[in-house]
Chains A and B, each alone.
Chain A
Amino acid sequence: MAECHPVGFQWVMEAKARGAKVIHVDPRFTRTSALADVHVPLRAGSDIAFLGGIINHVLRTGSYFRDYVVAYTNGPVVLREDFRDTEDLDGVFSGLDAGSRSYDNSSWQYKGTEMQAASGQRDQEYGKRTRDGSSVTEAARGESHGSGGPDIGEGEPERDETMSHPRCVFQVLKRHYARYTPEVVEQVCGVPQDLFRQVCELVTQNSGRERTTAFAYAVGWTQHTVGVQYIRAASVLQSLLGNIGRPGGGILALRGHASIQGSTDIPTLFNLLPGYIPMPHAHQQQDLDTFVEAEAARKGYWGNMRSYLVSLLKAYWGEAATDGNDFCFDYLPRLTGSHSTYETVMAQLDGVCKGYFLMGENPAVGSANAKLQRLGMANLDWLVVRDFSLIESATWWKDGPEIETGEMRTEDIGTEVFFLPAAAHTEKDGSFTNTQRLLQWHHQAVPPPGEARSDLWFTFHLGRIIREKLAASTDEMDRPLLDLTWGYPTKGEHAEPDAEAVLAEINGHDSDGSPLSSYEELKDDGSTVCGCWIYCGVHADGVNQAARRKPGREQDWVAKEWGWAWPANRRILYNRASADPDGRPWSERKALVWWDADEGSWTGHDVPDFKPDKAPDHEPPPDAEGPAALSGQDPFIMQADGKAWLYVPSGLTDGPLPTHYEPQDSPFPNLLYAQQRNPVRHLLPPHPDNRYQPSGTEPGSEVFPYVATTYRLTEHHTAGGMSRWQPYLAELQPEFFCEVSPELAASRGLEHTGWATIVSARGVVEARVLVTDRMAPLTVQGRRLHQVGLPYHWGPNGYATGDAANELLHLSLDPNSHIQEAKAFAVDIRAGRRPRGTAALELVREYRARAGIDEGTGTEP
């Protein structure tokens, strides 16, 4: 955090100054470690074993927050008799279809719920849930990030408030994690037992009524074939300790881009519509009502999904969207499986995808398996790149690595390339959503120079021109374009669209055109318009709430009048859980919101994340649906049962409980189970440039003996498009380097500031060598393990240059989120510069041959 979010880290230091203990778990010793009380180096890719070990400690020592667990989690809920855990099946859960690499999650359900609910592969359940329609989306995998609220079916689950029933979640959890002992943690993670015990004690001592512990993570947790389950493991732990919805608690995703949270909320993502409404999959006879029936949870705020979706369709298609035509629901294109950026590359290689827009993105060096990205682009008809400078994704056709190796010749490449200069943040109005869901408006200071334009300008005018060209069309294909509401006011000599008018549409309005102030006002009859339901209120009263800037020193510690946080300006989600079931703060020290019986309302420092007048003793009528079905003691209002889930009956593709699997490419066998890798990880179709490696005890595994991990530096940003062209930053970190321990350097003849060549089954790169104690060797399964650190900011263009670490990466993805495993893989490292030209290809081929790699390697379930 000190490296990548240095200014946010000041608050960690404030906490430390007030007595907080800071623990840093990272393979590397970084600037964060230097300021932490405890640094725990571990093997990259072993975090579930580590977190599972802490969970086991908490359960074994009884140091969980029992009142919180019983009242606010699904710990007491009893599971079905046919559920089988990894304990029973040696590393897999019941319902696995190894052939299709997928789970049927029927047996994962709560006992007493009548209908099987959908998992992340919700679509497979579509027929069952709607009792008609058949799916063509057998390939669909984890189509949405828990969006729509995973349903748990009809009926009341059976509960055991004593949590002693052998099939209740709490007991299942205990058995599942019993094998995650300190000895196993030491063997799997390379963390000595005394150090591990110290962490367990610090975390448990600092949790409970009076104290809370927070976990902060970044892509070091998400970029794995089990990335979602990493976060889930932290969720289980934090729920057991009562650290969710309370000040100083939580699991904080430290995101790395100014509006990456916003680009998920208002998604440019294939599987989502604004506000986490899932994109529809293809089904026969699917209309709006069957879609909502299939996708929306019955209870909680997802029960109102129809209102959110109809209001969005009204924002898209305005007058054309009527009750009579299902509000143009048919205009939404349909998915048939994953269409993630990696499938898009495959579609480019197949010649299906012919045109590609890159807006502020540099996949030629910034995406996993960068070579496949370039090969995909070389097979396009046309490519539009919008950026500040000539990034590698704009110039690969003349100076990319394949030109050097002779695999491609510029004259042979038919791709037409348009480079359009982009406007900077100082040259446009607009809002960013930061990592804590806070929207902040930035104001235009000057107009963009020359032909540079904002992406708002580009998108608006591209749409305008396309609509003008097709204005006379009577083709049904063009109706969604021609019916689109696209009349945004423009201003200035460039005819820049008014960003605040777009924000007003996102916020929404009623049938009189008056701005809405809350998603509670949204209707499912077409009388409200709202472009993103969770952002409803950001333009309440016609005022740009995101532009509020009352100085922090003039406000209390919550600072509610700086910007605007979704939803409803709440700063801590699920904060009803900061009070006990009766509505009193768990402790005065940790008070955040509470029930004021005299006023008959919730109140406190933060905006309560709860219906303001719902009393703690409120019991919903048995036939209630949606938010009305939540009791006064259900703080997790987006969940279908109002509870935090220690165990996930539906919503995930790869199991109800986090389980340690080895990374796709790993030098070690899985010590915990016979199952080596996540059995349902998402592998791309075989491609000669995307070969996987042998792992563990498989022959050939020893050819790639070192664990590698990629990361960022303070002085650069992602793939470098916003930092390698800045002289100050280029001077601070001028070229690609790798970090290795003195021991590894000695054994491989690597010299400090000299060159190293790093090889995987996908590619070869060279890097300057930084020999440092910061990369501590570990003892894993009785063997000395060295890890290689690879900051991934570079490419051949700009002032600071170097090979791209992404050349080494394979495409093996988390099956829920379709995110690549960039944080743990296996490589070989040798002294000296890499070969040039065809010799570079020959070296990789030689490694593959030596490891016995073919297209089946590493693809076993």
Chain B
Amino acid sequence: MGVRTWIDSWPVYRQLKGTDPLGRGAAAKSGATARLTPRVASADRVVKSVCPYCAVGCGQNVYVEDGRVTQIEGDPDSPISRGRLCPKGSASLQLTTGGAREHHVLYRRPHGTEWERLDLDTAMDMIADRVIEARRSGWQWEVDETRTRRTLGVASLGGATLDNEENYLIKKLFTALGAVQIENQARV
């Protein structure tokens, strides 16, 4: 470390010589602070996204490093949000990467008292069988001698943070199944 650097690292000197005579900004900055970098600086990629909470639709920048999401921040490009996020949007990192998320399929058998593990393929196969059966048991070709071609055996209630493409497939599949009790948060 040269003398010059050594003197410059002394806060009182910077306070006297620099633009921060009250020592409330640059003059008080320590070496450790100066060496800090934002956690987004080392990201491999920035992926453009949209906040999943309310319907304002704030832009999000999703930072990815080593295949993991490391930070989510507001997107300054967005003419809607201009880079801002509210407390919920700012907590998106915990929503997406937090420890409270379940990563495995769980199964509760009829009259069971605890969860059991089930692999995803088995669960999908069991659910498909149950849809076929419930659909058939609740089938109504007619009601009061008038054609209905439907089932009341199966129903769905969806959230409203699903993608349009997801909703499109849900409505399409359930309509083809003959189910009419298809609803979402917009009613609630």
Contacts and interface: CB of A to CB of B under 8 A. Distances in A.
Interface in A75-110: none
Contact of A503 (B48, B104, B165, B172): B165
A587 to B, nearest CB: 25
A426 B172 CA distance: 25
A335 interface: yes
Contact of B147 (A282, A499, A503, A531): A282
Interface stretch (B2-10, B15-23, B31-39, B64-72): B64-72
A597 interface: no
Given A341-B188, A434-B55, 14 more contacts: A274-B171, A356-B155, A359-B157, A359-B170, A418-B105, A418-B126, A419-B107, A426-B72, A430-B165, A481-B177, A547-B48, A551-B77, A715-B87, A820-B188
Contact of A416 (B95, B105, B108, B131): B108
Interface string A413-456: 11111111100111110111111101111111110011111111
Given A344-B183, A390-B102, A552-B78, A357 B155 contact: yes
Q: 3 nearest interchain CB pairs?
A: A552-B79, A360-B159, A430-B163
B118 to A, nearest CB: 8
Contacts of B41: none
A549 B141 CA distance: 49
A173 B149 CA distance: 45
A268 B170 contact: yes
Which of A343, A441, A462 gathers most chain B CB within 10 Å? Answer: A462
B52 interface: yes
Nearest to B68: A446
14 contacts: A7-B58, A254-B55, A258-B161, A263-B162, A333-B175, A353-B138, A357-B156, A431-B164, A443-B49, A459-B169, A503-B164, A549-B48, A551-B77, A552-B80
B182 interface: yes
A283 B155 CA distance: 23
B171 A331 contact: no
Which of B52, B114, B145 gathers most chain A CB within 10 Å? Answer: B52
Interface stretch (A182-190, A577-585, A725-733, A760-768): A725-733
Contact of B98 (A412, A425, A452, A727): A727
Given A412-B111, A799-B100, A445 B62 contact: yes
Contact of A452 (B103, B107, B109, B186): B103
Contact of A257 (B55, B96, B174): B55
Contacts of B55: 5, 254-261, 434-435
A697 interface: no
A415 B185 CA distance: 23
Interface stretch (A40-48, A361-369, A510-518, A626-634): A361-369
Contact of B188 (A363, A436, A465): A363
A147 interface: no
A505 B85 CA distance: 32
B153 A353 contact: yes
Given A446-B64, A452-B103, A506 B47 contact: no
Which of B56, B64, B138, B146 gathers most chain A CB within 10 Å? Answer: B56
A335 B111 CA distance: 34
Interface stretch (A381-389, A776-784, A830-838): A381-389
Interface residues of B, number: 121
A225 interface: no
Contact of B173 (A263, A270, A463, A552): A463
Nearest to A328: B176
A818 B100 CA distance: 34
A420 B123 CA distance: 9
A394 B145 CA distance: 39
A656 to B, nearest CB: 24
Contact of A269 (B54, B173, B182): B182
Contacts of A443: 47-49
B148 A359 contact: no
A334 B148 contact: yes
B123 A418 contact: yes
A397 interface: yes
A591 interface: no
B184 A361 contact: yes
A269 B186 contact: yes
Interface string B96-138: 1010111111111111011100111001111111111010111
B52 A258 contact: yes
B169 A502 contact: yes
B28 to A, nearest CB: 28
B102 A419 contact: yes
B82 interface: yes
A265 interface: yes
Interface stretch (A237-245, A602-610, A716-724): A716-724
Nearest to B123: A418
B164 A506 contact: yes
A723 B111 contact: no
Interface string A386-414: 00111000100110000000000011111
B40 interface: no
A130 to B, nearest CB: 14
B168 A266 contact: yes
B12 interface: no
Given A449-B101, A723-B91, A340 B187 contact: yes
B111 A382 contact: no
Contact of B87 (A455, A460, A732): A732
A248 interface: no
A497 B103 CA distance: 20
A331 B146 contact: no
Contacts of B62: 426, 445
A421 B161 contact: no
Contact of B172 (A282, A283, A343, A484): A484
B42 interface: no
Contact of B185 (A260, A506, A732): A260
B180 to A, nearest CB: 5
A161 B83 CA distance: 50
B161 A334 contact: no
B96 A728 contact: no
Contact of B157 (A256, A347, A356): A356
Which of B49, B64, B146 gathers most chain A CB within 10 Å? Answer: B146
B94 interface: yes
A601 interface: no
Interface string A813-845: 000011110000000000000000000000000
Contacts of B119: 451
Contacts of A267: 167, 171, 184, 186
A390 B132 CA distance: 26
A258 B160 contact: yes
Nearest to B126: A418
B182 A440 contact: no
A283 B149 contact: no
Contact of B156 (A260, A268, A442, A499): A268
Contact of A477 (B50, B56, B98, B178): B178
Nearest to B86: A6
A633 to B, nearest CB: 32
B57 A268 contact: no
Given A316-B175, A389-B101, A443-B47, A456 B161 contact: no
Given A266-B171, A411-B111, A726-B100, A818 B187 contact: yes
A532 B103 contact: no
Nearest to B56: A8
A216 to B, nearest CB: 12
Interface string A1-23: 00011111010000000000000
A7 B89 contact: yes
Contacts of A553: 77
Given A282-B147, A456-B169, A432 B50 contact: yes
Contacts of B165: 430-431, 456, 499, 502-503, 506
Contact of A425 (B52, B77, B143): B52
Contact of A279 (B60, B84, B163, B180): B180
B137 A354 contact: yes
